[in-house]
Amino acid sequence: MTMRTKDHHMPFVSSPFVTRRDVLVGSAATAAGLFLAEPGLATSLPNAPARSGLGTAYPRRDGPLKVRGAARFAAEHRFPGMVYGALVFSTIARGTIRRIETEAARAASGVVLVMTHENMPRLAPPEPFYASPTGMAGSAIPVMQDASVHWNGQPVAVILASTQEEADHAARLVRVDYEVAEAVTRFDDAAVGAPVAFYAGRDLQYRDGDAEAALAEAEASVDLEFSTPQQNHNQIELHAVTVAWQGGVLRMHDCTQGVDLSAITIAKVFGLDPSQVHLTAEFVGGGFGGKTLWQYHILAAAAARLAGRPVRMTLTREGVYRICGGRAPTRQRVALGARLDGRLTALIHTGTTMKIAQNSMTEPFMEAAEHMYRTDTMHLEIRAGVRDMLANTFMRAPGAAVGTFPLEVALDALAERLAIDPIELRIRNEPEVDPTTGKAFSQRALVGALREGAHRFGWQPRSGERLGRREGEWLVGTGMAAAYYPYKRFPGGAARITLGQDGRAVVELAVHDMGMGTGTATAAVAADRLGLPYEDIEIRYGDNRLPGNMIAAGSQQMAAIGAALTAARDALVAELAALVPAGAALHGRPAEALTTRDGALVLASDPATRMPLADLLARAERREVSAEAAAPPPSEAKEWSMHSTGAVFAEVRVNAVTGELRVSRITGVYDCGRILNSTLAASQFRSGIVMALGMALMENTLFDERSGRIANPSLAAYYIPAHLDAPEIDVAWTGIPDPEAPSGARGIGEISMTGVAASVANAVYDATGKRIHDLPITLDKLL
């Protein structure tokens, strides 16, 4: 199976002869021999046996709907009698509302309801992530339940009016008098005495040996300090919800990455049974970790109940910045000690980040260091200071996006000191087994990705010298870095398959398409599992009443879907086996011996022994057969070290006069297991690279530490890359199936957000001789 990206043949193949340990560590020569000795070699290798559907570049199923504007998003649904909501945000970071004047707002044209803590229904606080297996809220702060203010920007009043304009106007008429309390808003203050963070069930701390001593004794070392700024989500679709109370049911059109978890979490807030919440999100205009349950959902539902009217609440862009969290700032130290041959003797990656008291999200920036390189000693540690601010949250490649930046810049600095090519340095430290867990890798081809990337990019090997050149005013340099993101599969995967006599199958599961093409990829996986043509598969998703409580997060949704579809297929086969009539060749065979292929129920060991599904259903006088099953618990990630890796190469141009930095070329090669759809995958990889360029070059939430207020809550003042900032991007992948991952695929949504900032910083060094340790890399740092 040869993968194809925009203009390039992908020379890697998915070969049955490629072993789990496809690159032999410690031996660059072996790796080079196995991979890419000659560009033409790859295509002559035997292809993997094609399973129908998987890997095919099917076009996006919802493309025509979106192009025609016919796809309806959360803020495009309407209910009879619907009114529009607007929010008033606090202007202090901490304190109490002494008095809130709402008379003018109540009297304003079109106003239906003004809701404050004084008339807000009494509700339970929302469960945040990790507080329970179903927690979906950004924080546990009770929503408008009393006069207390917890961050600058907190909603303090809700207006409902006949039109959005009337609601917005009335919101400006609300006057709030605060009793200001002392707030912790400065990083430096919050960092003092900050404890080691507890995140996702563990302390973010790891020690192996005495890393400081090893660093001090190392033949070569670097010891560097870095910082990354706070960043905000800027999905193209503003956060919105359209809600109605229909009988005893709360009906929500939402934009969420977790229909089921959002429904369960809001049900608990309102004291409802989850079955009393019907939440759909057919289309989501970008998620990236930020489309979860925030205060506006609860406020909209509460206001709708209070007013007895359906409500649409669409946040303004400012509203998204005020009440939907983003990536926390970090200050990090990476120190590396090495022998002169480049073998690491010490790896220290420590630092501090910020969170709030009422959430459990700590930016886990040490994760890449845990799994990427072998070293004699290691010390990893993250401390989390608590500030009075909007809850920080997940943002594309949490941890790894900001953690690979210092790690991969430090490796570049070490390579220079050792006069070893940076690719070679990484290869010399490629681990045999997982460096911290000692587990075997399920599949890992980082070395192959590095070599392939070098080949595609035209990497010039270097040994300590800068190779940057000058073109007129422009200093041109190249740099590289590794990419990293863990494999994940969360519990809760389930699916229902309904097979009709016409041979078509309807697959239903509570998953999400936030623009990445989930429906399209899922149809291909279902076709593969069922042995049916892709065109005969219909996928229904984005509805909490469908099976499963999956979440589109952690790049794990396709893994969850893959496992769920296998389980549901097996359950369906069992149903079908029971229908096989006496006298048929398959009669009496145990369900485990059967599978579906080419529109028939077949004996797995002898597919020629078969019975067409249409015949089977007709003989049994069944119009359809349906089966639902849950995926097994995700034990694979406990037994194996499962991680995706990659190699990123950047060419940058720095203007010698103005310091302006432009990235002119990027190559990314990713090792993520099997690629399920090359078109969708290329788009995911490229979009992550563009987003990471934003992180590298310009993204920066201006959190005013005096007031705790975000000073640039607008796309006019918070820069993300424009078209001219996005260069030619070449992406490729190894495509080697992971034998332990469902469908062989480890997930691709986030990894391309990692490594890019480091590759750019390393290229800037090559061009200018300046090591930039603080993101974003703005021109003032290069003057």
Partner 1 sequence: MTPFDYARARSEQDAVARVKDAGTKYLGAGTNLVDLMREGVEVPSRLVDVTRLSSRIEPTDGGGLLIGAAASNTAVAEDAAVRARYPALARAILSGASAQIRNMATVGGNILQRTRCTYFLDVEGARCNKRQPGQGCDALEGFNRGHGVLGVSPACIATHPSDMCVALAAFDAVVHIAGANGRRHVPLVDLHRLPGDTPHLETVLELGELITAVELPSQTITARSTYRKVRDRASYAFALVSVAAALEVAEGRIADVRIALGGVAPKPWRAREAEATLIGAVPGQSAFVAAAELALAGARTRPGNAFKPELARRTIVAVLSDLAGAGQ
Separation of alpha carbons 34 and 429, rounded Å:
18
- Is 662 a residue that touches partner 1 (CB under 8 A)? yes
The residue among 174 and 243 lying less far from partner 1, judged by its C-beta, is 174
Task: Give the binding range for partner 1 (CB under 8 A) out of 5-13, 431-439, 549-557, 723-731.
Answer: 723-731
Report CA-CA distances (Å) from 376 to 373, 421, 773: 10, 21, 26
- Is 236 a residue that touches partner 1 (CB under 8 A)? no
The residue among 623 and 706 lying less far from partner 1, judged by its C-beta, is 706
Q: Which residues contact residue 408 at a Cβ distance below 8 angstroms, ignoring those fewer than 6 apart?
A: 481, 482, 755, 758, 759, 762
Rounded to the nearest whole angstrom, what is the least distance from the CB of residue 674 to partner 1 in the complex? 36
Exposed e or buried b for every residue in 95-123, given b needs 16+ CB within 10 A? bebeebebeebeebebbbbbbbbeebbeb
Rounded to the nearest whole angstrom, what is the least distance from the CB of residue 401 to partner 1 in the complex? 19
- Out of 660, 679, 771, 774, which residue is the one contacting partner 1 (CB under 8 A)? 660
Rounded to the nearest whole angstrom, what is the least distance from the CB of residue 650 to partner 1 in the complex? 16
The residue among 444 and 653 lying less far from partner 1, judged by its C-beta, is 653
Rounded to the nearest whole angstrom, what is the least distance from the CB of residue 560 to partner 1 in the complex? 37
Q: What is the DSSP letter of 49?
A: P
Burial environment of residue 588 by CB neighbours within 10 A (0 to 12, 13 to 18, 19 or more): exposed
User: Do residues 756 and 485 lie in contact, with contact meaning Cβ atoms separated by under 8 Å?
Assistant: no
28: three-class secondary structure by DSSP:
helix
The residue among 475 and 601 lying less far from partner 1, judged by its C-beta, is 475
Return the residues of window 270-309 that contact partner 1 according to CB under 8 A.
Answer: none
Number of residues binding to partner 1, judged by CB under 8 A: 36
x-or-dash string of contact with partner 1, 136-165, rule CB under 8 A:
----------------x------------x
x-or-dash string of contact with partner 1, 90-129, rule CB under 8 A:
-x-----------------x--------------------
Task: Give the binding range for partner 1 (CB under 8 A) out of 181-189, 325-333, 414-422, 772-780.
Answer: 772-780
The residue among 575 and 660 lying less far from partner 1, judged by its C-beta, is 660
User: Do residues 576 and 613 lie in contact, with contact meaning Cβ atoms separated by under 8 Å?
Assistant: yes
Separation of alpha carbons 433 and 439, rounded Å:
6
- Is 608 a residue that touches partner 1 (CB under 8 A)? no
The residue among 553 and 710 lying less far from partner 1, judged by its C-beta, is 710
**Token pair belonging to 649:** 């190469």
606-612 β-sheet, strand order: 594-597, 600-603, 606-612
Q: Which residues contact residue 600 at a Cβ distance below 8 angstroms, ignoring those fewer than 6 apart?
A: 531, 610, 611, 612, 613
**Token pair belonging to 610:** 């078969």
Q: Which residues contact residue 592 at a Cβ distance below 8 angstroms, ignoring those fewer than 6 apart?
A: none
494-500 β-sheet, strand order: 537-540, 505-508, 494-500, 624-630
Q: Are strands 474-486 and 83-89 parallel, antiparallel or unpaired?
A: unpaired
To the nearest 10°, report the CA torsion of 32, 36, 42, 48: 50
- Is the torsion defined by CA of 610, 613, 618, 621 positive or negative? positive
Supply the Cα-derived Rg of the chain in whole angstroms.
27
- Is 473 a residue that touches partner 1 (CB under 8 A)? yes
Rounded to the nearest whole angstrom, what is the least distance from the CB of residue 456 to partner 1 in the complex? 24
Task: Give the binding range for partner 1 (CB under 8 A) out of 120-128, 190-198, 565-573, 697-705.
Answer: 697-705
Rounded to the nearest whole angstrom, what is the least distance from the CB of residue 176 to partner 1 in the complex? 9
**Token pair belonging to 557:** 């949704």
Rounded to the nearest whole angstrom, what is the least distance from the CB of residue 186 to partner 1 in the complex? 13
- Is 704 a residue that touches partner 1 (CB under 8 A)? yes
The residue among 76 and 725 lying less far from partner 1, judged by its C-beta, is 725
Rounded to the nearest whole angstrom, what is the least distance from the CB of residue 707 to partner 1 in the complex? 7
x-or-dash string of contact with partner 1, 167-196, rule CB under 8 A:
-xx--x------------------------
Rounded to the nearest whole angstrom, what is the least distance from the CB of residue 713 to partner 1 in the complex? 8
Return the residues of window 438-467 that contact partner 1 according to CB under 8 A.
Answer: none
Residue type, 106: R
Binding site for partner 1 (CB under 8 A): 89, 91, 109, 152, 165, 168-169, 172, 473, 657-660, 662, 697-698, 702, 704, 706-707, 709, 711-712, 714, 716-717, 719, 721-725, 778-780, 783
